[in-house]
Amino acid sequence: MRSFQRGALDLRPVILTPGVSRYAEGSVQVEFGNTKVLITCSTEERVPPHLMGKGTGWVTAEYGMLPRATHTRNQREAAKGKQTGRTMEIQRLIGRSLRAAVDLSTLGPRTLTLDCDVLQADGGTRTASITGAYVAVVLALRSLQKQGTLTKQPKLTPMAAVSVGVVNGEVRVDLDYEEDSKADVDLNIVATGDGRMVEVQGTAEHQLFDRKTLDAMLDGGLAAIHQLVAAQAKVLE
């Protein structure tokens, strides 16, 4: 039986708590079961050097995990003096995804920085981060509009993300840590509610995968994303 008594294609309970930070322009705490990520969206009225004078905006992301977010303690990256390859890979993925969600040309010359800090990790931290980050971005843009900095909302493409895997020969959606560590194939999907894709990253962990398996995983993942986008919309109402 899967955690939370759910079926193979069911999500864990998803909770999006907006406005958890007193100071950030936009913020949300996202929970996918026992995975908990605190996300803030900070805004700045300037852009990185390579965009100066072009009128366009920028969205970037950083990802971190508290040392004891997991079963055993990991060394603090700030103490080690460098971010791991895994951290870099994840924050690049979050940044790319959110840049696809916000039309940078109508954003204007400002930067949105997403900080995704994992308070507790039970699998799927990157997909939870992306799902929550979209909410944080929308809240930050609303707050800019309220304070008059932004006169018109940039065009937005609502999107969310989920992990899918093959465990014991079965396609399962939203793996927890235990499932993730024994999955044969692991797929992360970022997409819109109507199935247009932003990122697809599939990895054979212990077994190669064929087109049929990939299709089944995409079916399951896109259906789950449809629900996640609906959950985002509800919170943002």
Binding site for a second copy (CB under 8 A): 21-24, 27, 34, 38, 40, 42, 44, 62, 64, 66-73, 76-83, 85-89, 91-92, 96, 100, 113, 115, 117, 119-120, 122, 157, 187, 191-192, 195-204, 208-211, 214, 218
Please report how close the Cβ of residue 196 comes to a second copy at its closest, in angstroms.
4
Cα separation values, 70 from 66, 89, 94, 122, 198, Å: 8, 19, 21, 7, 28
Please report how close the Cβ of residue 60 comes to a second copy at its closest, in angstroms.
11
In this complex, which beta carbon is closest to a second copy, that of residue 7 or of residue 118?
Answer: 118
In this complex, which beta carbon is closest to a second copy, that of residue 145 or of residue 203?
Answer: 203
In this complex, which beta carbon is closest to a second copy, that of residue 7 or of residue 85?
Answer: 85
DSSP 125-162: HHHHHHHHHHHHHHHHHHHHHHTTS-SSPPPB---EEE
Q: Is 32 exposed, middle or buried (0-12, 13-18, 19+ CB in 10 A)?
A: buried
Tokens of 166: 């093959």
Those residues whose C-beta lies under 8 Å from the C-beta of residue 55, and which sit 6 or more positions away, are 105, 108, 109
Dist CA 142 CA 96 (whole Å): 22
Please report how close the Cβ of residue 81 comes to a second copy at its closest, in angstroms.
5
In this complex, which beta carbon is closest to a second copy, that of residue 127 or of residue 151?
Answer: 127
In this complex, which beta carbon is closest to a second copy, that of residue 137 or of residue 237?
Answer: 137
Give all strands of the β-sheet with 26-32 in edge-to-edge order. 14-18, 26-32, 35-44, 111-120, 58-65
Cβ 145 vs Cβ 106: under 8 Å: no
In this complex, which beta carbon is closest to a second copy, that of residue 18 or of residue 237?
Answer: 18
